[in-house]
Structure formats: structure tokens, C-alpha cells
């Protein structure tokens, strides 16, 4: 297993455009998380899935954001009508249902720049 | 509200000396505390953790101390090495809820 894979690594888009990111978790992990990190901040939780069910969404996740994990494997995060404030690193992580004490395995992230 | 506070945005330490990174939390329901390390252009990687039933956990050069009454934990790295230069995040957890991350402390180990 090559770990958690995120694509693309970088995305530059014009304000108002839609973007979609993909995350391929570690195959044995049934939980998948999306976090967002901006400069000088720690990762902020957005949403997570257990298998294909989306179990929790943060208040940070506006209605322009939608995430899916259709078959309980890979996940996509879509941002509609992007705004400059959406510019951030979007991180995906996966874990077993009982995560700690070994925590999550993170991907390298997708850096989004909205111009 | 900030449940996790890492009040030192940065720390510089001489190679070979001890690095001490601190973390304060407010939620008494946290039962596991994890530390992650992050290099530029990479995702965070798990470093070490401690359960709330312990007050110390050691793994090689890394030791985490937990003071539940003070809601404070610290990560000690000794001896510090240049490869330890990274951003360190404190990430507590309660039950099966998603990890909550602090803002991080950037550690620079100077050769």
C-alpha cells in the first residue's frame, strides 16, 4: 500500500469556478477525513466518512462544499463557485474505526489557489 | 473557541539540546493526545501519543508528558537534531470523534 494519495497536488482556479479533489485512502481503513489548513493554522476538520456514510460535517463546510465517498473507497471533495477565502491546503486522512493511539495517516494534500 | 492552544508559534534550539513544545487544552473529555510532525509540502505524520490514564510516554528521543489537572501536555525531544526541524501539532481526541489540532509550533534546530 502506498499510503494516502491526493490529486491533484496543486490547483489554481479563477474565482467562481468549481473544483474537485480526489483522495485515495489506505485500502484497509474504513474512515476517511477531510481537513483544511491555512497559513499559520493547524488542520481544521471539515467532514468524515465511515465506509460510504458521511457521519459528521463541520460548520466550516458551507453549502458550496460537498464530499462523497460512493463505494467506501476513494472520496471526492467539490467546491462550487470558489472564493478567494477557499485558498488553502486541503488534507485527506484515513484511519481504522478505532483510530488512536496511532492516529490518522495523512496524504500530502491539495493546495488550492483561487485567483 | 480554541480547544487546543499551542502558545509558542516558533522555537529555536541548538543541535544536541532539549526541545520542549507545549500544548494546553480545555476539553476535559479528551482521552488521547497525539503529536504530529509536518514538513513543508507534506501531510502531517504521526509522532507519538499518550493516553489520559498515563502521565508519560517515551519513544526513543521523544517523550510526551501529560498533566491532566493542569490540562497541559508537553513534547520533549532530546537530543534535538537538524532533521527534527518541522512544525509540530498537538492533536487531542475524545472517544471516536475527529482529531482537533492546535495551531502548531515551528521548531528550528540549529547545527
For A63-90, write each residue's pLDDT tens digit: 999 999 998 899 999 999 999 999 999 9
| Average pLDDT of every residue of chain B | 94
User: Quick one: pLDDT at residue B95?
Assistant: 76
Euclidean distance between CA atoms B104 and B109, whole angstroms: 16
Chain center to CA of B111: 22
Q: What percent of chain B has pLDDT over 90?
A: 86
| CB B103 within 8 Å of CB A42 | yes
Per-residue pLDDT, B1: 63
Query: What does the pLDDT average to over B33-41?
Result: 94
Residue in A30, A11, A38 with CA at minimum distance from that of residue A22:
A11
Sequence-separated (6 or more) residues with CB below 8 Å from residue A72: A30, A49, A51, A52
Residue B46's alpha-carbon distances to A41, A63, A93, B88, in angstroms, are 18, 31, 11, 10
3-state secondary structure chain B: CCCEECCCCEEEEECCCCEEEEEEECCCCCCEEEEEEECCCCCCEEEEEEECCCCEEEECCEEEEEECCCCEEEEEECCCCHHHCEEEEEEEECCCCCCCCCCCEEEEEEC
Band of pLDDT at residue A1, cut at 50, 70 and 90: low
pLDDT in tens, B2-13: 789 999 999 999
Greater model confidence, B78 or A61: B78
B46 contact A CB<8A: yes
Residue B34 — φ and ψ, nearest 5°?
A: -120, 150
> Mean pLDDT for chain A?
93
Alpha-carbon distances of A71 from A65, A76, A94, A104, B51, rounded to whole Å:
19, 11, 15, 20, 33
Q: Which of A103, A105, A108, A110 to mutate to test the interface with B (most CBs of B within 10 A)?
A: A103
pLDDT at B71: 96
Residue A24 host element (H or E): strand A19-24
| Residue A28 near chain B (CB below 8 Å) | no
Which residues of chain A does B99 touch, with a Cβ-Cβ cutoff of 8 Å?
45, 99, 103-104
On whether the CB atoms of residues B65 and B56 are closer than 8 A, the answer is: yes
pLDDT confidence of B21, banded at 50, 70, 90?
A: very high
Q: What is the pLDDT of residue B96?
A: 76
Between CA A21 and CA A51 the distance in angstroms is: 18
Task: With CB atoms and an 8 Å threshold, state whether B89 touches A99.
Answer: no
Contact B44, B28 (CB under 8 A): no
Q: How far apart are CA A36 and CA B95, in angstroms?
A: 22
Read off the pLDDT of residues A28-70 as tens digits, 9 standing for 90 and up.
Answer: 899 999 999 999 899 999 999 999 999 999 988 889 999 999 9
Phi, psi of A40 (to 5 degrees): 80, 5
Neighbouring-strand partners of residue A49: A32, A54
Is A70 in CB contact (< 8 Å) with chain B?
A: no
Give B103's contacts in chain A (Cβ within 8 Å).
40-42
Amino acid at each position: 500500500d502506498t499510503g494516502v494519495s491526493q490529486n491533484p497536488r496543486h490547483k489554481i482556479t479563477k474565482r467562481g469556478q468549481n473544483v474537485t479533489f480526489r483522495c485515495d485512502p489506505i485500502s484497509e481503513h474504513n474512515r476517511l477525513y477531510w481537513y483544511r489548513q491555512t497559513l499559520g493554522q493547524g488542520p481544521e476538520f471539515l467532514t468524515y466518512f465511515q465506509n460510504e456514510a458521511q457521519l459528521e460535517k463541520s460548520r466550516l463546510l458551507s453549502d458550496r462544499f460537498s464530499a462523497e465517498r460512493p463505494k467506501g473507497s476513494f472520496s471526492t471533495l467539490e467546491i462550487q463557485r470558489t472564493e478567494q477565502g477557499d485558498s488553502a491546503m486541503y488534507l485527506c486522512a484515513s484511519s481504522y474505526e478505532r483510530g488512536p493511539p496511532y492516529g490518522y495517516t495523512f496524504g500530502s494534500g491539495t493546495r488550492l489557489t483561487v485567483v | 473557541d480554541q480547544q487546543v492552544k499551542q502558545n509558542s508559534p516558533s522555537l529555536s534550539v541548538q543541535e544536541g539540546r532539549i526541545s520542549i513544545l507545549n500544548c494546553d487544552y480545555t476539553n476535559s473529555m479528551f482521552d488521547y493526545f497525539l503529536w504530529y510532525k509536518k514538513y513543508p509540502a507534506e501531510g502531517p505524520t504521526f509522532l507519538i501519543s499518550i493516553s489520559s490514564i498515563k502521565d508519560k510516554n517515551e519513544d526513543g528521543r521523544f517523550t510526551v508528558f501529560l498533566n491532566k489537572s493542569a490540562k497541559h501536555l508537553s513534547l520533549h525531544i532530546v537530543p534535538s537534531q537538524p532533521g527534527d526541524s518541522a512544525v509540530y501539532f498537538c492533536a487531542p481526541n475524545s472517544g471516536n470523534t475527529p482529531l482537533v489540532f492546535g495551531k502548531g509550533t515551528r521548531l528550528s534546530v540549529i547545527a
